[in-house]
Amino acid sequence: MQVRESEEIHLEAYDNSMIYKGKAKAFHDAKLGRKEFLVGEKVFLFNSKLKFFPGKLNSRWRGPFMVVKTYSHSAVEIKSFATNKIFKVNGYRLKHFYEGDQVCLVEEIQIEDL
């Protein structure tokens, strides 16, 4: 009798664990956003060679690269600025490259006391 109860508790715990994992995966997947890349945009490429041994100061991102063409299912064709080679990568390995603050002219308007 005790063995049967132990098996039932084990199966119930297993089912609860599977339900929890399914809900956690659904929550995580809902938070992920698809990245849209435009032709001519600059991007960084994830360096998968440093995935296991990143080193202390080595960056995991290489680049910048320029987007040449986008395909369905998040495939992107990019071009290296250094070597001018063009190759196709998965869009999940890319992130947008931001060049920092842009300098723009600002007009000053003097307000006189009334």
Instruction: Answer yes or no: pTM beyond 0.85.
Output: no
- pLDDT band, residue 30 (cuts 50/70/90): confident
Q: What sign for the dihedral angle of Cα 24, 25, 30, 36?
A: positive
Mean pLDDT calculated for residue range 50-79: 82
Q: Kindly tell me if the per-residue pLDDT of 23 is higher than 60.
A: yes
Number of Cβ within a 10 Å radius of residue 89: 16
The residues near 60 (Cβ < 8 Å, ≥ 6 apart) are 46, 47, 50, 51, 54
* List of E strands, the chain: 42-46, 61-70, 75-80, 86-90, 94-96
- What's the pLDDT score for residue 21? 96
CATH class of the domain comprising 42-96: mainly beta
Domains in the chain: boundaries: 1-32, 42-96
Average pLDDT, the chain: 84
Share of residues in the chain with pLDDT > 90 (%)? 40
Rounded Cα distance between 90 and 103, Å, is 33
